[in-house]
Structure 1
Amino acid sequence: MGDDSDFEVDVFDRVGEAELAELERPRKSQRISKGLPDSREDDVFDDLDEADLAELERPTKRLKTSAGVSNAQSHLALAERILKEKFGYPSFRHEQAGAIQSILAGDNALVIFPTGAGKSLCYQIPAIAFPELDKANNRRGSSTAGVTLVVSPLIALMKDQVDALKKRGIPADSIDSSKSWDDIQRIYASLRESKLRILYCAPERLNNEGFVATIGDIPGGIRLLAVDEAHCVSEWGYSFRPEYLKVARFADEVKAERVICLTATATPDVAKDICKTFRIKDACVFLTSVYRPNIMLGTRMPKLKTECDNRFEELFSFLRTHPGPTLVYVALQQQAETHAQVLKDQGFNAAAFHAGMKKEEKLFVQDDFMTGKIQIVCATIAFGMGIDKPDIRNVIHWDLASTVEEYSQQIGRAGRDGKKSYCMFYLAPSAFYLRQVFARGDLPARQSLKRLISNILDQARGLGVNQVFKVSHYQQEREYDIRASPLSIIYATLELHFGFVRAITPEYTTYKFEAMRSYYPKIKEDKSKEAKAILSSATKKLKFHHIDVNAAARDAGLDRNDIVKKLNQLNERGHIKLQTKGLEHRYVIQKELPKTKEDIEAVVDKIYAQLQQRERDALNRGREVMDLITGNKCFARALAEHFGMGLPGGKPSCGHCTYCFTRRSVRPPAQPREPTTAASIQRVLQATTVRDDPRFLARVAYGIKSPRVTQLKLDKSPVFRSLAHHDFEVCTV
């Protein structure tokens, strides 16, 4: 058949009429689909045959909970009624019912469903059910109904789901950076009056002193804490976020009644981490296969004329023969812009989306894509999470996804309506380069790490156990040339592995407020010590009143949190417009810190070894994606096996991916490494006076940004990325 580079036939076009008839046969759900909402989340498996369904919908042994069989049955009946009346669906699918029954019975649960398979119903239905259960059991009144708090890193998901819930008459809202001051006041008032059933927030919001204080005072408390993207909890997962460690602590501190963790991308090891963190029993883990029979997975290795131009030619051809809403994923923000423009020049209705765009621009693109005004979005990973658009026909990867989990999430956005959809990977010879750039940028130089650890110990020197010290992460990033993500991980390591410190709620260094008309009457009639302290300590300068919270608390003999809480109450009730800035992270010392040179070196060695392993893991995850799309195995089967599963019914292959059609792997040509010469290194040295860090110089040569690179504007220099096709390890020597 010749080389892969000569194989020009679109493999999807080789599907015969019989295969198409099988893939597109009328779904059983069509007899009940009329009148259902267009964005039904849990119909993605309707194309499975009876054997597939028997495997995926096998009877679960977990429906009997500690509440007893009769309670489980009544809980299920209530949940099914809410499902029909509020969401318009006739029945639960797969493991939804079991997860919901566990939550209603008071257990914690972990839900692992593929993207678009209905995870959100697993916390939305319990949130609606709690007041009815309270009424039936005479437990509490409507004024103390409590709230379901959903922690999610995705503003897009919050917006999408809140809008959908409100349309169904379900009181829900979100607190995020897009909200105005008036919006926040309205939300806080609804919480105090028990008018909200569901509130969404980002994990970073748990660092906000005012928010944590307000949530702690909600009448009825937190009935359910839903942790979305829960794989971020796992330290060794592909997307570990230290902020998520605080979610588990927050659950304990606010005495959340129960917790549900949700993710689409948990490998068996990550699932164990989540269960350990949130004390979830094995019987309360609910998972559904990642297999999507209506998704056609493809990979193409374009011929090498000029690599980029030829890929564009194939992209144009594909889009003309496969119309419909399309996502084109790229690695860089600039690519999103240029690719969208190239497509527009060819007559396609395309737009860019990336994290560097203004908030209003991103919302505009998102809304236009959802409503069909824009057909193609060229995006970085910033787009798509939480987007519930059922008719996305194509997902195209222009660059290598960072992990198999990320790839699985992105292709999972296609074909949620159960109709045939296409996921195409245009493999470039240089595909792995960008993955190295992202992975290698997070490992600091060892001497930078040592200086950072010494600085942290200096901050804490002279303090004893249970005393608190403060640091500015922003200043440390710039001073020690360490990115924000690894810096957070370093602090998490000091906490998790050494037990030296514990992160507590950060503080703002500056508080100021604009007094509304009601401020003075209210503050003067308030006889509390906190109100008196604020009135006597706040000084007006032009428009704003400024207050030193620490000094006010000290002079009044109060705790700082008492002053902060009172300020937030005034803010929530509309008497002031409060502004804060100058975030300082705070850490409480848990035990005696290392003092000797040898002990400090041992800490540095262990943390640096862990950071090196993270770099290796990140590089290996990129190779796993490459292996998946270039391996000698059915793509769908390889994807399922990555998550500890197989294809339904033990089938060896899906029958409709590139490998299944061709029975051969797609292999990119090896990219030769250029030798590193003395002259090329000399040019880098001439561009900067830095001589204390070989890894820093290698970053510049390889094209990897860091705080120090940006500060010295070396990313604008001709030598930046000048050795991109060389061996990075050689460049660091």
Structure 2
Amino acid sequence: MDDFDSDDDELMLQAVQQVESGTGSTENGKRKRDDASATVDANEPKRLRAANGETVQNGHSSKLALARRILTDKFGYPDFRHEQEGAIGQVLDGNNALVIFPTGAGKSLCYQVGDRHCRPFVPDVYEPILSVTDLAQIPGIAFEELDNESGARGAGEHGVTIVVSPLIALMKDQVDALKRRDIPADCLDSTKKWDEVQLIRQGLEKGQIRILYCAPERLNNEGFVESMKDVAGGVRLIAVDEAHCISEWGHSFRPDYLKVARFVQEIKAERVICLTATATPRVAEDICKAFNIKESGVFRTSPYRPNLHLSAEAIELKEEKEAKLLKFLEKHPGSTLVYVTQQKQAEFVAAQLRRKGLDAQSFHAGMKVEEKQKIQDDFMASKIRIVVATIAFGMGIDKADIRNIIHYDLPSTVEEYSQQIGRAGRDGLASHCMLYLCPQDFYVRENFARGDLPSKHSLQGLLSSIFSDEVTSLSIGETFGTKHQDQSREFDIRLSPLSVIYASLELRFDLIRATTPEYKEYKFEATSKYYPIVKNDKSPAGQAIFTGSRKAAKYHHIDVKEVAKAKGLQRNDIVKKLNVFESCGALKLTASGVENRYRILKPLPKTRKEIDVLVDKLHADLEQREKDALRRLEEVTELITGRQCYALALTQHFGMELPDGKETCGHCSFCLTKEAITLPALPSKSVDHAAIERILAATDIRDDPRFLARVAFGIKSPRVGKLKLDKDPVFASLADHNFGSLLREFEAVCNA
């Protein structure tokens, strides 16, 4: 079973694309800094430029020498890539750092050198992706060697590095690679059983684990927080991968990332390094503020890739795309990724290409794991030329000779566009990136952006439910449970904005704090060992399970909370014993019904007036998030339709410039034509009132105008699905209208 009890696990993860790719520039065979920050600030006395061009920082050169020696002695390579050395020096000095390297520029190396797994670059102009797994090879630990040199710590007291990563599959791959190289690493995820978790904890307490991977959700686990305080040697470093997720201004904001900084303080971690491939100046400022990173601790390199030819074409009707795509593929051979927005579209476009005799396969999150793995493996081995994919394709793609990246649809953000084109041409050869700009594509993107804003009516119902009389009667310090899935359906709020709401109640308003979630329902299938083991177990928890479970046709069912209460035991005692029985083969355990738990931090709002004030503040925040999402979509359009070089616009988006003060790349669409792409305009439409009446006739809902506008525009939501209106002909019947106009029409109806 998934070990998800009150002491040992985190919520299911939502996949976030992880990017591990890119290149850098060279001069005379040596690496050089290729960004605007290469100049030295006279106001930064601690960051000096040595005569040989290296960055030194008040006596940390010996530590850098150690890092270089690990790199050179074990692998025979002379130096680090880009700003890696500066970032590593910052960390080894005990300071916090933010590393903003483009895809593949070696972000991972910056924390792995401190924990004996890094792989240096191939001394050439460009090189293949340096993923965490690839880098996990250095057999010595810099922290351990420094401890031994200073005599400050003994054996088993060298501490642990915690890597916060959002993807279970990637964590497992990294840990497996480390273990194959006899590097003591492990990960805590929702697939770990109770006995496995205990072994990991014992290893941490004895100082036997050097690197521990975990998801950001794990940091809400109170048992995990407490156990980290007892790690032998303490937590030497926390590496926060995909750190842009911490910023509400970022393109992939995740509420659980907001809690990482609190976790760092609670366990008194010695230092932090935040890593990301895509951070605008505003996002970088948020990260630095959260983790107390000084300006001198920020290391970045330019996203500019001189071998990438960035092109775009305006298309009036989406039906014209197929012919354009076929023409492009005929002209540009080689491995190709075609990015689309929707899963069905990936399948359709791939099928169309196959009909034309091209070797193409689709890839999206809805496919089976085995099928996705085969397609990825075949693409990596060049057995498949073209993959038509959603954003689900990209994590861990380490293919140097991808010749073409095609955006069949509009990317949702400039950051997403930058990540995806960064997968092309890692071998340094010319590669082509084409984007098709069609006004009809904006509907799908707007659909996604507007789907997350709940109505005030929904928000009012949710908060009234959270702060019920039963909950507000509890004392400060007591806990209560909620089921997010149930609340999502009942109050018509998607799970993503629901998590944002709870994070705001916790971090902005300081009303509650998330604790370890619990399973509500346990059942088990008894084996032949069940009666000999469980019946003869005389422990209070064992007897409680034997007498408190009820047998049905196949399974025994047990209400853990009620049984614990009736027997005067802790709930956790029952859960641990169930796991023990499973480990020794007495039963096969299944748990379900996740309940999120929260501790009350201060008096909660009780009156309608108090809740209304909170509703207004939360709704304003969520409304701004919707505007930000729509604005990020506009930024993509402005990048393509602006009157300047695409490469320059891209680097300026991330607060940088082209190398050597250049203002053109010389080979993007704008540089070649000197003409800006013009987005064809959609004809303006007056509101179809007959269609409005048909929607009103299809449902008696009159308490939520946004719900009605969603039905008209074709935006799915929990309530739309529950009423099966997405199956009705009226659903999306006004998809070609302006959403704001539709909302005003339905507001007038509901107010009347």
TM over 0.5: yes
Alignment partner of 1:724: what SS? coil
Q: Alpha-carbon deviations, 1:178-200, whole Å to 9, x = none?
A: 78999879877876776654343
Q: Alpha-carbon deviations, 1:253-299, whole Å to 9, x = none?
A: 44433221111111122112112222223322211112111211110
Measure, in 1, the Cα distance between the counterparts of 2:622 and 2:614: 12
Alignment partner of 1:614: what SS? helix
Pair 1:565–1:101, CA change in 2 (3 A):
farther
Measure, in 1, the Cα distance between the counterparts of 2:610 and 2:160: 47
Which residue does 2:511 correspond to in 1? 500
Matches within 5 A, 1:525-674: 548-551=559-562, 554=565, 559-561=570-572, 564=575, 579-674=590-685
Q: Which residue of the other structure, out of 236, 247, 250, is the alignment partner of 1:234?
A: 247
Matches within 5 A, 1:416-565: 416-458=426-468, 460-512=471-523, 548-551=559-562, 554=565, 559-561=570-572, 564=575
Work out whether residues 294 and 419 of structure 1, in 8 Å CA contact, stay in contact via their aligned partners in 2. Answer: yes
Pair 1:603–1:539, CA change in 2 (3 A):
same
Pair 1:443–1:324, CA change in 2 (3 A):
same
Which residue does 1:339 correspond to in 2? 349
Which residue does 1:712 correspond to in 2? 723
Which residue does 1:289 correspond to in 2? 302
Cα drift, residue 619 of structure 1 = 0.8
Letter in 2 for 1:158: M
Cα drift, residue 64 of structure 1 = 8.0
Pair 1:651–1:575, CA change in 2 (3 A):
farther
Which residue does 1:318 correspond to in 2? 328
Cα drift, residue 107 of structure 1 = 2.0
Which residue does 1:409 correspond to in 2? 419
Alignment partner of 2:647: what SS? helix
Q: Which residue of the other structure, out of 149, 152, 155, is the alignment partner of 1:136?
A: 149
Cα drift, residue 250 of structure 1 = 3.1
Work out whether residues 207 and 505 of structure 1, in 8 Å CA contact, stay in contact via their aligned partners in 2. Answer: yes
Letter in 2 for 1:311: K
Pair 1:683–1:657, CA change in 2 (3 A):
same
Measure, in 2, the Cα distance between the counterparts of 1:616 and 1:637: 26
Measure, in 2, the Cα distance between the counterparts of 1:316 and 1:183: 52
Work out whether residues 35 and 656 of structure 2, in 8 Å CA contact, stay in contact via their aligned partners in 1. Answer: no
Measure, in 2, the Cα distance between the counterparts of 1:609 and 1:85: 57
Work out whether residues 157 and 387 of structure 1, in 8 Å CA contact, stay in contact via their aligned partners in 2. Answer: no
Which residue does 2:741 correspond to in 1? 730
Q: TM-score, normalised by structure 1?
A: 0.84
Q: Alpha-carbon deviations, 1:588-608, whole Å to 9, x = none?
A: 222222233332221111111
Matches within 5 A, 1:392-403: 392-403=402-413
Which residue does 1:379 correspond to in 2? 389
Measure, in 1, the Cα distance between the counterparts of 2:592 and 2:75: 42
Which residue does 1:252 correspond to in 2? 265
Q: Alpha-carbon deviations, 1:20-54, whole Å to 9, x = none?
A: xxxxxxxxxxxxxxxxxxx9967433489999746
Cα drift, residue 584 of structure 1 = 1.1
Q: Alpha-carbon deviations, 1:360-380, whole Å to 9, x = none?
A: 222222222223222222111
Q: Alpha-carbon deviations, 1:97-125, whole Å to 9, x = none?
A: 11112222222221111111110111111
Alignment partner of 1:291: what SS? coil
Which residue does 1:328 correspond to in 2? 338
Q: Which moved more, 1:115-124 or 1:519-528?
A: 519-528
Alignment partner of 2:446: what SS? helix
Measure, in 2, the Cα distance between the counterparts of 1:720 and 1:567: 48
Work out whether residues 21 and 423 of structure 2, in 8 Å CA contact, stay in contact via their aligned partners in 1. Answer: no
Q: Alpha-carbon deviations, 1:605-640, whole Å to 9, x = none?
A: 111111111111111110110000111111111111
Asked if residue 388 in structure 1 is aligned to residue 398 in structure 2, the reply is yes
Work out whether residues 525 and 587 of structure 2, in 8 Å CA contact, stay in contact via their aligned partners in 1. Answer: yes
Pair 1:614–1:192, CA change in 2 (3 A):
same
Work out whether residues 33 and 83 of structure 2, in 8 Å CA contact, stay in contact via their aligned partners in 1. Answer: no
Work out whether residues 86 and 168 of structure 1, in 8 Å CA contact, stay in contact via their aligned partners in 2. Answer: no
Letter in 2 for 1:624: E
Q: Which residue of the other structure, out of 25, 29, 47, is the alignment partner of 1:45?
A: 25
Q: TM-score, normalised by structure 2?
A: 0.82
Q: Which residue of the other structure, out of 257, 263, 276, is the alignment partner of 2:276?
A: 263
Work out whether residues 488 and 494 of structure 2, in 8 Å CA contact, stay in contact via their aligned partners in 1. Answer: yes
Cα drift, residue 222 of structure 1 = 3.6
Letter in 2 for 1:301: A
Alignment partner of 1:505: what SS? coil
Work out whether residues 702 and 723 of structure 1, in 8 Å CA contact, stay in contact via their aligned partners in 2. Answer: yes
Q: Alpha-carbon deviations, 1:179-234, whole Å to 9, x = none?
A: 89998798778767766543433323445677667766655454322111111111
Q: Alpha-carbon deviations, 1:509-568, whole Å to 9, x = none?
A: 134566889999999999987778767766777876655444565567665456556666
Letter in 2 for 1:326: T
Pair 1:219–1:55, CA change in 2 (3 A):
closer
Measure, in 1, the Cα distance between the counterparts of 2:523 and 2:329: 53
Q: Which residue of the other structure, out of 346, 370, 381, is the alignment partner of 2:380?
A: 370
Cα drift, residue 150 of structure 1 = 1.8
Alignment partner of 1:509: what SS? strand
Pair 1:163–1:663, CA change in 2 (3 A):
farther
Alignment partner of 2:388: what SS? strand
Measure, in 2, the Cα distance between the counterparts of 1:239 and 1:512: 37
Cα drift, residue 55 of structure 1 = 5.0
Measure, in 2, the Cα distance between the counterparts of 1:570 and 1:284: 50
Work out whether residues 210 and 568 of structure 1, in 8 Å CA contact, stay in contact via their aligned partners in 2. Answer: no
Q: Which moved more, 1:718-727 or 1:214-223?
A: 214-223
Pair 1:588–1:725, CA change in 2 (3 A):
same
Which residue does 1:675 correspond to in 2? 686
Which residue does 1:78 correspond to in 2? 66
